[in-house]
Amino acid sequence: MKVLRQKLRTLASAFVLTLFLSACTNQLAYNTLPFWIDYYLSDYVDLNSFQQKQLEEDLDAFHEWHRQTQLPKIRALLVQLERDMEKPLSYSQVRAYHKYTNTTILASLEG
């Protein structure tokens, strides 16, 4: 049991460290996401000018919606996770974080 706790603690620490180290990259990627989606989508789909304008407007609207509604939830989750990781997480806590993360991802996809 002690070995399992140590492995879980190491895994959780590695996750948080990776999260902190990638924060700058993630912020840059997140802020430019509408551009990159449009850029890569243009390799697969030919759009006329009206469709292109509509896509850009829809991507901007979705990005703004996500920034306003989903990012505060994600931030709250990360703050709570940081607090909870002051001691080893229990299986029920890991399960709860997994469930909440999946729910957040599904909400973004439905948005």
Q: Give the model's confidence band at 34: pLDDT under 50 very low, under 70 low, under 90 confident, else very high.
A: confident
Nearest Cα residue to 94 out of 9, 21, 2: 9
DSSP state, 66? I
Domain ranges, residue 68: 2-110
Q: Name every residue whose Cβ is closer than 8 Å to that of residue 63 and which is 6 or more positions away in sequence.
A: 33, 34
Check: pTM over 0.85? Answer yes or no: no
The domain total for the chain is 1
Alpha carbons 83 and 20: distance in angstroms, whole number: 15
pLDDT of residue 81: 86
User: How many CB atoms are located within 10 Å of the residue 67 CB?
Assistant: 12
Alpha carbons 40 and 110: distance in angstroms, whole number: 21
* Predicted confidence (pLDDT) at residue 63 exceeds the cutoff of 70: yes
Q: Give the model's confidence band at 13: pLDDT under 50 very low, under 70 low, under 90 confident, else very high.
A: low
Task: Provide mean pLDDT across the span 36-53.
Answer: 85
DSSP state, 87? S
Alpha carbons 60 and 46: distance in angstroms, whole number: 19
Q: Give the model's confidence band at 50: pLDDT under 50 very low, under 70 low, under 90 confident, else very high.
A: very high
Please name the amino acid found at residue 55.
L
